Amino acid sequence: MPDRRDLRLVMMGTGTFAEPTLLALLDAGCQVVGLVTQPDRPMGSTRGSTRQVGAGMKTLAEQHHIPVYQPESINTPEGVARLCEFRPDLLVVAAYGQILSNDVLATAKQGGINVHASLLPKYRGAAPIAWAIYHGETKTGVTIIRMSVSLDAGDMLAQEAIDIGPDETAGEVEARLAPLGGRMAVQVIDELVAGTTHGLKQDKSQVTKAPKLTKEHGLIDWTRSAAAVCNQLRAMLPWPTPFTFLHHASNPPLRLIVPRAVVRPDLSAPDTAPGSMVVRAEQRDRMLVATGGGSVVEVLEVQPAGKRRMSVVEFLRGHPLHEGDRLGAEKS
């Protein structure tokens, strides 16, 4: 009877989301004959980085004596030739970071499966968790798909959902989804071996995109509703971090990372421009900010440029707020 250990697997993945999948394959006794991961780059190891850092895919592979290949592009003739040397039966992909060509997929007898962190067809792309939170989703999950050349468009082989907590950040949700993805990958491999997989076509009418995040996505848009602003903060943690600039008095704009804020449903500021401080005599130790539609957000923690994260109470001791102070883009 065929067994998962009979398959020659090449793992393709980068970062903390991919690590539990590699470990799950190894724990299940799978034959991982190679790892393809992104070239070494300073990310979480550099001072000031806010990216999540795990053991590292390369480190995990080396600990288990798995050959590692780190091309700038896997889709080159050299990349395809190197993959062929592994003689893979199946590619197992999780957050690898490159779209795979037909030539790459053809190197494996059974093509590839992808561990994707969303409830496809919603949030196809590089940052599905962040964009799900940004748009206020209360559920997300993992979908295992059969790889195709089109981005995250293959047939769905398995899908499981989880709830998104009201205060969870993208990093916290990823930490829960990653081991789920590993378990599901092993399950699907067993089904492939047994010949019991049943692929389900994605509903094209329900497709949404989750493009790669840039630092600019962290700039807080105070014109959104209070709830949407708080969603953006959670979506941009741990990277690229939600940030804004404090404009007050005659001082130059001060860059602030805003890691924590809450909606204040008991307050409203219908005649106040979004981003403006709602300064009240009895609440001088609070940072209340007008947002779109007259709603109000209370910022709880900030991190001034070049300094540590601190409570707003502590920050305001050195930066008292005044009427006319506001938050927004650096030049606004």
Q: Is 85 left (phi over 0), alpha (psi -120 to 50) or beta?
A: alpha
Q: What is the dihedral of CA 117, 121, 125, 127, to 10 degrees?
A: -40
State pLDDT tens for residues 40-52.
876 544 444 455 6
Please count the other Cβ atoms lying within 10 Å of the Cβ belonging to residue 293. 14
Q: Is 67 left (phi over 0), alpha (psi -120 to 50) or beta?
A: beta
Name the stretches of the chain with pLDDT < 70: 1, 42-53, 280-283
Domain 215-328 fold is Methionyl-tRNA Fmet Formyltransferase; Chain A, domain 2 (3.10.25)
Please count the other Cβ atoms lying within 10 Å of the Cβ belonging to residue 145. 26
pLDDT for the residue 52: 63
pLDDT for the residue 3: 86
CB 220 within 8 A of CB 135: no
- The size of the chain, in residues, is 332
For the chain, domain boundaries: 4-206, 215-328
Q: Measured between alpha carbons, how far is 180 from 20 in angstroms, rounded to an integer?
A: 8
pLDDT for the residue 285: 84
pLDDT for the residue 53: 65
CB 63 within 8 A of CB 38: no
CA–CA distance from 75 to each of 80, 106, 213 (Å)? Answer: 6, 11, 23
Dihedrals φ, ψ of 205, to 5°? -70, -15
Helix (H, G, I), strand (E, B) or coil at 131: helix
pLDDT for the residue 222: 98
Q: Measured between alpha carbons, how far is 24 from 178 in angstroms, rounded to an integer?
A: 10
State pLDDT tens for residues 216-239.
999 999 999 999 999 999 999 999
Q: Measured between alpha carbons, how far is 49 from 67 in angstroms, rounded to an integer?
A: 28
H and E: helices and strands count for the chain: 8, 13
* DSSP H stretches of helix in 154-218: 170-194
Domain 4-206 fold is Rossmann fold (3.40.50)
Q: Which residues pair with 90 in a beta bridge?
A: 9
CB 264 within 8 A of CB 297: yes
